[in-house]
Amino acid sequence: MVKKQKGEDVILSKVSAIAGDVTELGLGIQPNDLETLRNEVTIIYHCAATVRFDEPLRKAVFLNTRGTKYMLEFAKSVKHLDFFAHVSTAYCHLHVKTLYERVYDPPANPHKVISACEWLTDEQVAAIEHKILGDIPNTYAYTKSLSEALVAENFDELPAMILRPSIVIPVWREPVPGWTDNINGPTGLLIAAGKGI
């Protein structure tokens, strides 16, 4: 709608690409860019995550859970924040038959899991991954559940919300026709079908 009314140039003039990495302190963003964001951002959509179901647990914790912790810390420093939207998944509380719009208990204390992953090696975490996950089928659901708990802890301090889409798929025409960022889920299935596999 805005694109039709104002044109693509107006939209693009409002967007600046800033390199970052949610696994790093300070989100891997240059200090001058962080300051610009603190002063100018009003809405944060935290979508950064690994969506691979078979991601090693330590890596998934660093990306999905600790990355959320870092984003929340950053959000608290934003001067004019209207809201913080955390993109989770409808599948992070698989033990619940009907998922309601409320906070659910995490499978473990997210702070303790982050801490353990910080001092254990990849090999040590991998050796106990099955025991840590318990009946949760994959690291994606596990780390997203932990992340939701971190967001919920900050409801009193931040205007935050948790979004739980059931699936995210590529767009048809925007930002460019056929754009997709991975081949997980239905995209991979459609590509395989298109190739006759």
Supply the CATH classification number for the domain 2-166.
3.40.50.720
DSSP for 111-177, please give it: HHHHHHHHHS-HHHHHHHHHHHHTT---HHHHHHHHHHHHHHHTTTTS-EEEE--S-----SSSSST
The gap between the terminal CA atoms of the chain, to the nearest Å, is 39
pLDDT value for 177? 63
Question: How does pLDDT run across 103-152, given as a tens digit for each residue?
Answer: 999 999 999 999 999 999 999 999 999 999 999 999 999 999 999 999 99
Best CA proximity match to 71, nearest among 91, 90, 45:
45
Give the pLDDT confidence of 81-111 residue by residue, as tens digits. 999 999 999 988 988 889 899 999 999 999 9
In tens, the pLDDT along 56-72 reads 999 999 999 999 999 99
CA-CA distance, 27 to 23, in Å (whole number)?
7
Q: Which pLDDT score is estimated for 61?
A: 98
Q: pLDDT digits over 34-61, tens only?
A: 999 999 999 999 999 988 889 999 999 9
Tell me the pTM. 0.84
Whether the CB-CB separation of 147 and 70 falls below 8 Å is answered with: no
In the predicted model, what is the mean pLDDT of residues 170-179? 64
Q: Is 181 helix (H, G, I), strand (E, B) or coil?
A: coil
pLDDT of amino acid 46:
94
